[in-house]
Amino acid sequence: MTALRYEARLALAIAAKDARAEMRGRQAVVSTLFFAAVVLLLFGFALGPDRARLAEAAPGLLWLALVFAGVLAVSRLHLIETDDGALEQLALYPVPRRAIYAGKALAGLAVMAVLGLVVLGAVAVLFGTSIGSAIVPLLATLMLGVVGIAAVGTFYAGLTVRLRAREVMLPLLMLPILAPLLLGAVKATAAALAGDPFGELGAWLQLLVAFDVIMLTAGLATYGYLLEDG
Amino acid sequence: MKTRILGWVAFVAVAVMALVALFLVPADLNQGDAQRIMYPHVASAWLAYLSFGVTALAGIGWLWRRDIRFDSVALSGAEIGVMFTAFAIWGGMMWGRPVWGVFWQWEDPRLTTTAVLLALYAGYLLLRRLTDDPERRATRAAIVGIVAAVDIPIVHFSVEWWRGLHQTATIGSPDKILNPAAPVPFVLTLVGMVLAFTLTWTYLMIRRYQLAQADLGREESARVERIMEARAAEATR
Amino acid sequence: MPRTTIYVSPRSLGSHDQRPPAVVTTDLARLFAGRPALAGVSLTVEPGRAIALLGPNGAGKTTLLRILSTALRPSYGSGQVDGLDLGRDVDAIRPRIAYLSHATGLYDDLTARENLAFAATMLATPDAEVRVDRALEDVGLIGRRRDLVRTFSAGMRKRLALARILLGEASLVLLDEPMAALDDEAMSLVQQLLGAWREVGVTVLVAAHSIERLESHLDGRVIMERGLVTAVAGNGVTSHAPAPLVAGHPLTVTR
pLDDT tens digits, one per residue of B61-107? 999 988 999 999 999 999 999 999 999 999 888 888 887 778 887 77
Predicted pLDDT of residue C3: 52
Nearest to B224 among C242, C247, C249 (CB): C247
Mean pLDDT confidence for B29-41? 79
Please give the pLDDT value at position C185: 67
Least confident of A146-150, B163-167, C69-73, C226-230: B163-167
Q: Any CB–CB contact under 8 A between B223 and chain C?
A: yes
Q: Which residue has the higher pLDDT, C51 or A194?
A: C51
Based on the number of CB atoms within 10 Å of its own CB, is A88 exposed (0-12), middle (13-18) or buried (19 or more)? buried
* CB-based contact, B134 to chain C, within 8 Å: yes
Residue B109: pLDDT over 90: no
Do C105 and A88 lie within an 8 Å CB cutoff? Answer: yes
Residue of C nearest to A85 (CA): C105
Q: Which domain holds residue B66?
A: 35-236
The verdict on residue B221 lying in a domain is yes
Q: Does the distance separating the beta carbons of C34 and B222 come in below 8 Å? A: yes
**Cross-chain Cβ contact C40/B231 below 8 Å:** yes
| Residue C24 three-state SS | strand
| Residue of higher predicted confidence among B227 and B177 | B227
Yes or no, beta carbons of B227 and C29 under 8 Å apart: yes
Residue A218's pLDDT is what? 94
Over chain A, what is the mean pLDDT?
90
Per-residue pLDDT at B132? 84
Q: Closest approach of chain C CAs to the CA of B131, in angstroms? A: 10
Looking at the complex, report in whole angstroms how far the Cα of residue C38 sits from the nearest Cα belonging to chain B.
8
The pLDDT tens digits of the residues spanning C91-138 come to 899 999 999 998 899 999 999 999 999 999 999 999 999 999 999 999
Residue B126 pLDDT grade (very low, low, confident, very high; cuts 50, 70, 90) = very high
Residue A187 has pLDDT above 90, yes or no: yes
Which residues of chain C make contact with B219, given a CB cutoff of 8 A?
A: 34, 250
Per-residue model confidence as pLDDT tens digits over A59-106: 999 999 999 999 999 998 888 888 788 888 999 999 999 999 999 999
In whole angstroms, give the CA distance from residue B231 to residue C2.
44
Contacts of C78 (CB under 8 A, 6+ apart): C25, C26, C27, C28, C85, C86, C87, C254, C255
Task: Search chain C and give the residue with CA nearest B230.
Answer: C39
Measure the N-to-C terminal CA separation of chain B; round to a whole number of Å: 49
| Phi and psi angles of residue C103, each rounded to the nearest 5 degrees, phi first | -85, 140
Tell me the per-residue pLDDT of C48-63, one tens digit each, with 9 for 90 and over: 999 999 999 889 999 9
Give the separation between CA C107 and CA A172, rounded to whole angstroms.
29
Please state, in angstroms and rounded to a whole number, the distance separating the CA atoms of residues B78 and B48: 9
Least confident window among A8-12, A124-128, B182-186: B182-186
Radius of gyration (C-alpha) of chain A in whole angstroms: 18
Residue C252 in this model has a pLDDT that exceeds 80? no
Residues of B in contact with A172 (CB under 8 A): 122-123, 126
pTM for this entry? 0.89
The 10s digit of each residue's pLDDT in C149-200 is 999 988 899 999 999 999 999 999 999 988 877 777 677 888 889 989 988 8
**Angle, to 10 degrees, between the axis of helix A135-160 and the axis of helix A97-127?**
130
Whether residue B158 is contained in a domain is answered as: yes
For residues A49-68, average pLDDT: 91
Alpha-carbon gap: A26 to the closest alpha carbon of chain C (Å): 9
Let me know if residue B6 belongs to a domain.
no
> Of A39-43, B163-167, C137-141, C246-250, which gets the smallest average pLDDT?
C246-250
**pLDDT given at position A204:** 93
**Is the model's pLDDT at B183 over the cut of 90?**
no
What is the three-class DSSP state of C175?
Answer: strand
Structural domain spans, chain A: 3-228
Contact B154 A214 (CB under 8 A): yes
| Chain C residues with CB-CB distance to B233 below 8 A | 226
Could you tell me the pLDDT band of residue A215, with boundaries at 50, 70 and 90? very high
Task: Output the pLDDT for position C247.
Answer: 59
What residues does C203 pair with on adjacent strands? C172
Spell out which residues of chain A touch residue C103, defining contact as CB-CB under 8 Å.
84-85, 88-89
Q: Is B126 on the interface with A (CB under 8 A)?
A: yes
Q: Quick check: ipTM above 0.85?
A: yes
A23 versus C17: the higher-pLDDT residue is A23
Report the number of distinct structural domains present in chain B. Answer: 1
- Greatest Cα-to-Cα distance within chain A, rounded to the nearest angstrom: 60
Helix, strand, or coil here: B78? helix
Read off φ and ψ for residue C76, nearest 5 degrees.
Answer: -140, 165
Nearest to C94 among A25, A84, A92 (CB): A92
**pLDDT greater at residue A204 or residue C180:** A204
pLDDT band at C41 (very low <50, low <70, confident <90, very high): very high
Average pLDDT over residues B120-137: 92
pLDDT of residue C4: 62
- pLDDT given for residue B16 in this prediction: 86
pLDDT at B236: 77
Nearest CA in chain A to C169: A94
Give the model confidence (pLDDT) of C199-229 as tens digits.
888 999 999 887 777 888 899 999 999 899 9
Burial of residue C102 (CB within 10 Å: 0-12, 13-18, 19+) is middle
Cα B48 to Cα A219, B72, B149, B203: the distances in Å are 25, 18, 12, 15
Q: What is the pLDDT of residue B180?
A: 59
pLDDT digits (tens, 9 = 90+) for A110-129: 999 999 999 999 998 888 77
Question: What is the model's pLDDT at position C251?
Answer: 41
Confidence check: pLDDT of B156 > 80? yes
Question: How confident is the prediction for chain B on average, in pLDDT?
Answer: 86
Q: Which member of A169, A173, A214 has the closest CB to residue B150?
A: A214
Kindly state whether residue B1 falls inside one of the protein's structural domains: no
Is residue C40 scored above 70 in pLDDT? yes
Task: Yes or no: say if A18 and A95 are a contact pair by the CB < 8 Å rule.
Answer: no
- The band of B166, judged by pLDDT with boundaries at 50, 70 and 90, is low
Neighbours of chain C (3+ CB pairs under 8 A): A, B
Predicted local confidence at residue C240, as pLDDT: 85
Minimal C-alpha gap between C226 and chain B (Å): 7
CB contact under 8 A, B224 and C245: yes
Does residue B169 carry a pLDDT above 50? no
Q: Is the pLDDT of residue B176 over 60?
A: no
Question: What is the pLDDT averaged over residues B147-165?
Answer: 86
Task: Give the pLDDT confidence score for residue B38 in this predicted structure.
Answer: 83
In angstroms, rounded to a whole number, what is the distance separating the alpha carbons of residues A152 and A173?
10
Confidence check: pLDDT of B173 > 50: no
Provide, rounded to the nearest whole percent, the portion of chain A with pLDDT above 90.
Answer: 65
Helix (H) or strand (E) holding C193: helix C184-200
